[in-house]
Structure 1
């Protein structure tokens, strides 16, 4: 494990103790049905893995939001998936790097361990693992001869930790499911989704747009099945209808069962999907705006039992991220807190009424919080107006 720093400041394990204080334990004022902000912490945009490899050489040296590439080290950024550890820390997955295959060959794919401290409103990076393929399971040429995986190899966007401690990760370039051990080593060949191919897939004949693969990945309460949600519509499917695909972990194969998540607007996208119980999922749905143009950033409870028999997941709004009650002014001076980021790609259950939500800051390109300033990674906790009645195995 390499030493890490946050914006030039040494990282201390001692911050973990403070992180254990659950912000959800703070009593929230009545919010008239709105979610209420209970915790706010920030990881600065300019946070790097110290003594790591240079990165950003393919960005052309053009400044973005006050940040000028290339970088001496790897940025800790672009969080596209999150796993709760139960000790106040989280595993967070960085995506493919700088937005596409062509400019991310020197961005190392990595799972970081972070410790938010909502008392000091800071986030410490306390560890992490690089994703690698030392045994040669990837059937196509990789960018690096040492088989450390980069953003030119895969676009990793979603993550689940299995009962045995290994990681399942959803990719957008295939789209593929990738299985890694606890040290980040690939355990088998990338698993494609039959009949669906992105433009980056070596098999050719794409029927899915670029960067529209597995943005969400949920796990059943018993740990036997995964549910992989595409971000984009497969050619020939109805506008705004996203496929949710069931995968059996034991057989390493798709079961053939799938459901449709219907976007409120075909121009929207999903940011994450996690399970609540055997039938329900929390799904982030968002528009493409940021800052003043951000209008639609929501979390829905989606039910695959389809009670109205319309062939789609039933949807119930549980949190409008552009209208969060903030009576204690944790996120600023206003009574209403907004999360106006272009990409919000992380949601995690903390207790039956509390969710953790994190943005993907697209370092250094997004500036949803302050025009002209690169977005930080913001970690917030919100208390829902009503309990989820989640499976108790997700509340441990």
Structure 2
């Protein structure tokens, strides 16, 4: 098995960002969101403007071997256990304004039982346009040295693993600390800039997943690992908006709860909205703030490759103007049908992002977004059957501006 270390090996990149001018006096509430639908809603076909790829077999230098509970049979051409900690599973992203991105590796190898040797980590990646490489330029492990977690952890050194939490969403604060959404509780976790847990995990009242250690023989009302898949920070800087991936028992099928959390009070405000999936079997992948009332949300099916049918980015409006009890949705990009007139990345005139899990979105400017896939290393093979997926980074120009509040993309 070939081992690809961080910063080694050329990675093909073709990346060009468009930066259209912002309309004068734009506050994100000019009526563009009136066009609410599950189709175009005023947005036409989006265009691929950049592509980069990080090889699947990229490991943190000098890290511990992993994957010992996956058996010894090859998985998509890669045989476990692995020689180090994979730089994989990008399930959350926070843009930094130095050309780098903090990307969150999730719980590891698929579930609580097999991920005890996967160290939870925030990776820092940088697409280098001049050299044609995507470099992993650093990162930090997540840990609990102050013993904020009140239940037993997997490791005595209190480094956090994929058997402790399933981290899926991330918000970086102005002070450099991180709020991270977990799926096992579900919990909100607050980490220092160096990765140390600062506070006791914050529970979501009335909701428990099967992995929650406080069930005490009770019945979970949320599916396994269906907690906080997406999370955004409000423009006011005071609130977080974590979005569940699964439907809470008793709620209408295919609806997901979006809650509001007050960072000053360290408590949920009681305000809640419903995001309705196109189909009950779908999932959301990530979300990010557009303005006071609107968010971008990735919605996907659970298929990959040619079987994939739903990989979309929606503009979700909390104002519910059609009064159906759910946030209004406008499709802004179909990730299975992106125009590629320049043949970026060596692909054809139509580019597809056909991965099982697409879990990262950021706004680069009012008309351009960036997305990354979670390659579920080594389990997903959406790009080439039988070959473990790489982590791909793409930029997409929307057919028209979002009308976003500039703070939504200038500060993250």
TM class by shorter chain equals over 0.9
Contact 1:246–1:255 (8 Å) recurs in 2: yes
Secondary structure at the counterpart of residue 69 of structure 2: helix
Distance 2:74 2:263 in 1: 44
Task: Indicate which of 270, 276, 280 corresponds to 1:256.
Answer: 270
Task: Indicate which of 295, 299, 305 corresponds to 1:281.
Answer: 295
Task: Indicate which of 337, 348, 366 corresponds to 2:351.
Answer: 337
Higher relative contact order (CA 8 A, sep 6+): 2
- Structure 1 residue aligned with 2:141: 130
Task: Indicate which of 242, 265, 271 corresponds to 2:285.
Answer: 271
Structure 1 stretch displaced more, 228-237 or 162-171: 162-171
Distance 2:18 2:322 in 1: 36
Secondary structure at the counterpart of residue 372 of structure 1: coil
- Structure 2 residue aligned with 1:202: 213
- Structure 2 residue aligned with 1:7: 4
Q: How does 1:162-173 map to 2 (within 5 A)?
A: 162-173=173-184
- Structure 2 residue aligned with 1:174: 185
Distance 1:120 1:65 in 2: 29
Distance 1:148 1:171 in 2: 16
Contact 1:40–1:118 (8 Å) recurs in 2: no
Q: Is 2:75 the counterpart of 1:70?
A: no
Q: How does 1:1-396 map to 2 (within 5 A)?
A: 7-8=4-5, 10=7, 23-25=16-18, 33-118=44-129, 121-204=132-215, 205-396=219-410
The one-character-per-residue Cα deviations of 1:215-267 (angstroms, maximum 9, x if unpaired) are 00010112110000000000000010000000001111100000000000111
Output the TM-score relative to the length of structure 1. 0.93
1:85–1:22 distance in 2 versus 1, CA, 3 Å:
farther
Distance 2:196 2:237 in 1: 21
Output the TM-score relative to the length of structure 2. 0.90
Q: Which runs of 5+ in 1 are unaligned?
A: none
Contact 1:271–1:344 (8 Å) recurs in 2: yes
Distance 2:389 2:54 in 1: 10
1:319–1:105 distance in 2 versus 1, CA, 3 Å:
same
Question: How far did 1:331 drift?
Answer: 3.2
Q: Which runs of 5+ in 2 are unaligned?
A: 21-42
Question: How far did 1:159 drift?
Answer: 0.2
Moved over 6 A (4+): none
Secondary structure at the counterpart of residue 138 of structure 2: strand
Question: How far did 1:9 drift?
Answer: 6.2
Contact 1:42–1:121 (8 Å) recurs in 2: no
Distance 2:88 2:5 in 1: 15
The one-character-per-residue Cα deviations of 1:138-194 (angstroms, maximum 9, x if unpaired) are 010000000000000000000001122110000000000000010000001100100
- Structure 1 residue aligned with 2:37: none
